[in-house]
Chains A and B, each alone.
Chain A
């Protein structure tokens, strides 16, 4: 279970997030610059909150007054916006980057098959398409067997067909892996198609939470009435 309850002062507003989640898919939706990526960065440990707590399955990532847990120890799979594949490494080297020598790679073989990237392993990032990059980045994020998956605008650079396919694959992976998944998007359609729950964020505040049954809203809780 992921518990998030923290504040962090940003340039124009204070990011204030409080929610908890189980092994579900949560979509963070909101306009650009509303603090969504900063939330992912705080969970991953790339940046630190000013106060509060972040904990996953009993392991405290951050707590006010304590030394934050190192990024390397958090076991987060992070798919960055634009994927951030290492340009000087092949697809295979990208995916295996975080794995230790001699470790069991059967899950990576299965992932590569599921994502349809087995034929790309010898290629370099500049030799593959946007959709392929997205799948490689997803395989890389999952290769080190993370306890949580963070996806920053994973579908923003994809055409409609590729987007639908990638969403389907992500869905399959989640059903197999059963870990908390948080994905950031500014498109409501993406959120409704994929997520179990939507959290709307604006100016650093959670304005609305909605439970979803794939494809439709079950119920929403308005947290801040002036959300547009």
Chain B
């Protein structure tokens, strides 16, 4: 038993989990498009996806408030369509995590897809196999080590997101208090024990994730990537 309310842990796992699922789907679709298609403005789209990597979190937070705030175009749209607000909710935290972790996952997936020898896909095509089945049974499994690394990176980035989350979701204990926010506000309040507790928890999560990826890679390196 711990002396602290564990809701920041569960909220962080929920926010990072949902954000990572969305990042996983979107980055795979984007990376697939970028690898396979040539189109006008491709480099601009690429730069736009990677932009959050070089922007300060406060700028991302500001942009999200402008877009999803009560007077923002997407904020109004979501409230009218589905009746929910993004600002000062855990959904805002998930959107902030999504935006900051998307470029990391996208880069990993893009590199993973580019590493898959196009001859393997062409073999499937000459055998009359559909593009979707080739993707599902050849491209995706062979790119999986890189995709998995991207998932872990994205999850770690999402669970550690602070600046943009604070701006759009604010600090409402029990509602938007993720682990990074709990650490910051515990420190601000002089509750060093509580801050250290959450630092240990979030560090342990990171170490466990990296350890698991390394184990998985060693286990599967024997088969995948060799011919």
Interface residues of A (CB under 8 A from B): 44-46, 71-78, 80, 82-88, 97-98, 124-126, 133, 140-141, 143-144, 146
Q: How far is the CB of B51 from chain A (nearest CB, A)?
A: 35
Q: How far is the CA of A86 from the CA of B140 in the complex (A)?
A: 12
Also in contact, A98 and B141, with CB within 8 A (given A84-B119, A126-B223, A126-B226) = no
Show 26 residue pairs from A and B whose CB-CB distance is below 8 angstroms, ordered by the A residue: A46-B122, A46-B125, A46-B126, A72-B125, A72-B128, A75-B128, A78-B122, A78-B123, A78-B126, A80-B122, A82-B227, A83-B227, A84-B120, A87-B142, A88-B141, A88-B224, A97-B124, A97-B127, A98-B129, A125-B227, A126-B223, A133-B227, A140-B127, A141-B126, A143-B127, A144-B128
Is the CB–CB distance between A87 and B128 below 8 Å?
A: no
- A77 and B126: CB pair below 8 A? yes
Q: Are A86 and B123 in contact (CB under 8 A)?
A: yes
With a 10 A CB-CB cut-off, give which of B126, B137, B223, B226 has the most chain A CB atoms. B126
Complex CA–CA separation, A73 to B149 (angstroms) = 36
| Residue in B117, B124, B224 whose CB lies within 8 Å of A98 | B124
Output the nearest chain B residue to A74 by Cβ-Cβ distance: B126
Q: Which size class do B's interface residues fall under?
A: 20 to 34
Q: Does B225 contact A (CB under 8 A)?
A: yes
Taking a contact as CB atoms under 8 Å apart, the answer to whether A84 and B126 are in contact is: no
On whether the beta carbons of B128 and A124 are closer than 8 Å, the reply is no
B residues at A contact (CB < 8 Å): 117, 119-120, 122-130, 137-138, 141-142, 223-227
User: B226, A87: Cβ atoms under 8 Å?
Assistant: yes
| Chain A minimum-CB-distance residue to B129 | A98
Nearest CB in chain A to that of B133: its residue: A97
4 smallest A-B Cβ distances: which pairs? A98-B127, A71-B125, A84-B119, A126-B226
**Most A C-beta atoms less than 10 A away, residue of B128, B130, B142, B223:** B128
Residues of A within 8 A of B226 (CB): 87, 125-126
CA distance A125 to B223 in the complex (A): 9
Q: Which residue of B lies closest to A150 (CB)?
A: B126
For the complex, give the distance between the alpha carbons of A133 and B227 in Å.
Answer: 9
Q: Complex Cα distance A123/B129, Å?
A: 23
Q: Which residue of B lies closest to A97 (CB)?
A: B127
